């Protein structure tokens, strides 16, 4: 799947059950500031290394997936769209 197709497949409107909790978590974490689904969290200055670990823990706990070492690429966590893509991929690979 191309990167563009993967981004489209992970778009928040395609996965509202993933994007909704992520957006709520980010809003709480950033004192109510609105974050767009494609906004780069780290480039905008919202995220740091401590926040990144909190985000990983939130994703694991909320979506019942395990983030492996190979998943810890910052590009997987730059935006809601990218985190949604990661969660969707991990769920698709999970044994039934």
The CA angle 35-30-7, to the nearest 5 degrees, is: 30
pTM greater than 0.85: no
Give domain limits for the chain. Answer: 3-93
Successive 10-residue mean pLDDT values, the chain, 96 residues: 45 76 92 87 86 95 96 94 95 82
pLDDT of residue 5: 44
User: What is the Cα gyration radius of the chain?
Assistant: 12
Q: What is the pLDDT of residue 11?
A: 53
Give, for 22, the enclosing helix (H) or strand (E): helix 16-29
- The pLDDT score that the predictor gives to residue 53 is 93
State residue 9's pLDDT score. Answer: 45
- The answer to whether 23 and 17 have CB atoms below 8 angstroms apart is no
CATH architecture of 3-93: Orthogonal Bundle (1.10)
Q: Which of 86, 73, 70 is nearest to 10 (CA)?
A: 86
């Amino acid at each position: 799947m191309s990167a563009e197709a993967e981004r489209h497949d992970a778009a928040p409107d395609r996965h509202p059950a993933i994007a909704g909790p992520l957006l709520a978590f980010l809003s709480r974490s950033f004192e109510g500031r609105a974050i767009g689904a494609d906004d780069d969290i780290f480039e905008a200055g919202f995220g740091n290394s401590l926040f990144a670990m909190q985000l990983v823990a939130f994703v694991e706990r909320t979506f019942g997936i395990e983030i492996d070492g190979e998943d810890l690429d910052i590009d997987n966590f730059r935006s809601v769209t990218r985190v949604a893509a990661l969660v969707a991929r991990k769920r698709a690979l999970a044994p039934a």
